[in-house]
Each structure stands twice: as structure tokens, then as C-alpha cells.
Amino acid sequence: MKDIDLDCCYESNIESYGYDGEGVARLDGKVVFLPFALKDELVRYNLTSSHSTFLNGMVCEVLRKSPLRIQPPCKYFGRCGGCTYQHTTYRNELQIKKTLLADQLRKVNFESKIEVVESPKEYGYRNKIRMFVGKEGLCLRERASHKLCKVDKCLLVSEKINRAIEIIDKFILMQNLTDCFSEVVIREENDHLAVIFYKKQGKNKINYQGVYLILNDFTGIFECENGVIVHKMGNDFLQSDEHGLDCKFRPNSFHQVNKYLVETLYHFVAENIVGNTIINCYSGAGVLSGFIASKNKRVTGIELGLSEHQDAEKLKEENNLFSCLTNIHGDCGEILPKLIGADSIIVDPPRSGMDKKVVETLNDKNCRRLIYISCNSATFVRDVARLCNYKLVSVTLFDMFSRTGEYEVVGIFDKI
């Protein structure tokens, strides 16, 4: 193989896509990953790094454009690490995601059709944003880097959150507070906002009155220092009335971010349940458990996070689900082995997937159906291979995070 020159410019056709949606080309037998290049394009590029089996590069010119290339609507696209697919049509993004998932599933011998459920909104669907505080104010992270990228707006979040970004950014800059905070989280539910200011250790007391008055009384202001969240002003809960339930969330409790698709996801899960007894592992703030319990099923939820568990208990109380819903606070690896079987078990673990103990317990458990909701296809595929006493019967891709490289996978399994 010829020496590869990192200072040189190369030209290649894009043959396929890598796992992060980058274009894949070949140079002297090596694979080259080229972010934001589309299949069948001819591109000119520089190499940015060389590894034993692959190269990374950056496109400097698209010599032959794909008809599926579009103008990205966001001025930060390419630099900001949030979005992956703004340079192509939403149809093509879904096709790429489906192809990448199918490639991964082939490794565990799943060859059947994958159904895709698109997001009703390509942009403006997110109900939460985590921003970093840099010298210039509110920022997001740059792509594949810890460097900060100053942004004044994010197209993935609602207009209300964008207005809050503008107000909070001004507050931090005008009060010279850039050195006091590391992060700011903004969440929205039903037009109500919660803002958590992550204060650096040892900084002076901060007066939030000014920013609270501009954000108005539909907002709750919280401060987090040393991992402890303290309510400062306004509403102390976020409220919503989704799936016919009265829900209250603490500002740091997990909640699904795409409010336009979550109802479809939960209905899909409920429709695929068999029998009347359900265990819901990694149950978060209990919305899915409550939704299923309200359909005359007996549900046991298991959740490790204390604030999520407390929210789940509140949801049970406010919606009078005492007779059909039990929420257990603890680790699925510890709790699940102690429970007798159920007709259906739902698992919705974090990105790291299920630990071995949970998989082993599931393999031994008396259960007819397993429904696995995953936000990381790599750990999903790993766990499919380990779930040896189950047959994967269907896979559906829910595009909960449109325009980004992420999506949700729901696998339906039957016990062999």
C-alpha cells in the first residue's frame, strides 16, 4: 500500500455509510470515513487521522452532488455535535438509519423487515436541552470533541425553550456569571419550564430573581451544587397530562424527549403485551407503567433513580392506580431475580444496555413475551445475542431523535 499523505487532497466516490451516518469511501484498500458525505457522491477530501484499518477525513468539496443533498437549515450544522443528517432529506435519513440497523441485526441472524415509525416533526420536537457554559455564554459541544460551540438557538427544541436560551444567555453574560456555572438544563412540559443551573463548587450565592421574572411564573428555577438539586423559585414540578394520566416530574427525572412520538411508542408497547401481569424494568418516572396499568393490567415497575421512583409513586397516587401498579425502587439486577414471572416483561435500559445478571435472569424467567426498548442499537444487538431463550420476532425503529444519529429500537421477543 502507498504511503498515505495527511497533507494531500484525495478524490473518491462514496460507497455506503458508517455507523455514525458518515460517508464511506476507499483509499488504497483502506476504508475512509467522511462525515456529511452522501452515497454516490464524488468528493474531494483531506485526511484528518490514520489508523491501522481505517482513515478519517473531511470533505472540502462535493464534486458530484447526490440529488438527496439539501441545504442544512441550521447555521451551526457540521460544527455542533448535535445533528448528523441536516444535509439530506428526512426520507433519506430514515433510509440510512434503517439500513444501518439492518446491517447490525444481520449479525444476530435477524433478516426480517424492519418497520420504521417517523417523527411527526423533523425539528422542534425536543422537550429538553443540556447546554454548557463557556466564556461566550451558553454553548453545545462540537462534533467528536469537548470543545464548546457557542449557539444562540437549537432547531431541535421547541420555540419556548429557544426563547429561554436567549433569556438565560443574556442573564449569564450580563451578570458576569460565565465562571459560576458549568451547565444549564432547560426542560418543557405543557408550556411549563424547569431550568437547572449547575453551579460550580464554592461560588457565591446567586440571585435568580431577574431571570425568573423574565422567564415568568410558568417556570421553576433549580440550582444544582455537588450533585444536590435545590428548588429556588416558581414551580417545583413539571406537569403534563399525557396518555390520559396526570403526571408530575422532578426536573432531573428521566422523561422521553420527543413529545410528538412518545404516545405512539407507548401504544405500540401496550398493543404488543400478552397476558395480564407485566414487569416493567428500568421504568423511569412511571408513565409507561401507569399507561399500561390504566388498561386493566397488573404492572410492577423497577427503577433505580430515586427521583424517578418518587415521581412514579406520585403518578400512582394522583391517578388512583393503587390496585394495579407496584413501583419498586432498586436495581433490576437485584430485584428481578426475586420476582416471580410475568406474562410479559418490558425492558428499557440506558444506553449501556442490560447487565449480564439481568439477561441471565430473563433467560430463566417464566415469561411469554419480552419487549425490549433500546436507545442504542449496538448494545441492543449485543443483548439479542445473549437472550438465548428468546426468539426475536419483530424490530421497529422509532425515530425519536430526528436529524441526529440516534433512534429508538423496539424488539418483540417470544420465549422459546
Ligand X SMILES: C[S@@+](CC[C@H](N)C(=O)[O-])C[C@H]1O[C@@H](n2cnc3c(N)ncnc32)[C@H](O)[C@@H]1O
- Give least dist CB 366 to ligand X, A: 20
The pair phi, psi for residue 170, each rounded to 5°, is -65, -45
Q: How many residues bind ligand X (CB under 6 A)?
A: 21
**How far, CA to CA in Å, does 126 sit from each of 119, 297, 312, 355?**
11, 30, 22, 29
Near ligand X by CB under 6 A: residue from 106, 350, 356, 364: 350
**Among 10-18, 110-118, 326-334, 398-406, the segment contacting ligand X (CB under 6 A):** 326-334
| Candidate list 35, 284, 290, 405; residue touching ligand X; CB under 6 A | 284
Provide DSSP, 353-369: ---HHHHHHHHHS--SE
* 408 belongs to the binding site for ligand X (CB under 6 A): no
Closest approach of Cβ 109 to ligand X, in Å? 26
- Report the residue from 22, 223, 242, 308 that binds ligand X according to the rule CB under 6 A: 308
Among 236, 304, 343, 379, which residue sits at the site for ligand X (rule: CB under 6 A)?
304
337 binds ligand X (CB under 6 A): no
Q: Which three cell numbers stand for residue 295?
A: 388498561
288 binds ligand X (CB under 6 A): yes
DSSP, res 257: S
Rounded-to-integer distance, Cα 369 and Cα 347, Å: 11
Stretch that binds ligand X, among 108-116, 119-127, 130-138, 347-355 (CB under 6 A): 347-355
Q: Is 282 in the site for ligand X (CB under 6 A)?
A: yes
Binding of ligand X by 115 (CB under 6 A): no
CA angle 176, 179, 184 (to 5 degrees): 95
Question: Is residue 398 near ligand X by the rule CB under 6 A?
Answer: no
**Closer residue to ligand X in complex, CB, 57/284:** 284
Measured CA to CA, the distance from residue 404 to residue 91 in angstroms comes to 14
287 near ligand X, rule: CB under 6 A: yes
Q: Using CB under 6 A, which of 332, 342, 381, 397 touches ligand X?
A: 332
Residues 10, 254, 380, 407: which binds ligand X (CB under 6 A)? 254
The stretch among 95-103, 145-153, 199-207, 344-352 that binds ligand X (CB under 6 A) is: 344-352
Q: Are 198 and 211 in contact (CB under 8 A)?
A: no
Burial class of residue 399 (count of CB atoms within 10 Å of its CB; 0-12, 13-18, 19+):
buried
Would you say 122 or 242 has its CB closer to ligand X? 242
Q: How far is the CB of 281 from ligand X (least distance, A)?
A: 7
Render the burial of 157-182: b for 16+ CB within 10 Å, e for the rest: bbebbbebbebbbebbeeeebeebbe
Residue 325 identity: L
Q: How many whole angstroms separate alpha carbon 322 and alpha carbon 226?
A: 35
Nearest-angstrom CA–CA distance, 349 and 408: 11
Could you tell me how far CA 77 lies from the centroid of its own chain?
19
Which residues lie below 8 Å from residue 400, measured CB to CB, with a gap of 6+?
119, 256, 257, 258, 261, 262, 265, 375, 406, 407, 408
Tell me whether residue 11 or residue 355 sits nearer to ligand X (CB atom): 355
The correct pick among 169, 242, 311, 348 for binding ligand X (CB under 6 A) is 348
Question: Which residues contact ligand X by CB under 6 A?
Answer: 254-256, 282-285, 287-288, 302-305, 308, 331-333, 348-350, 375
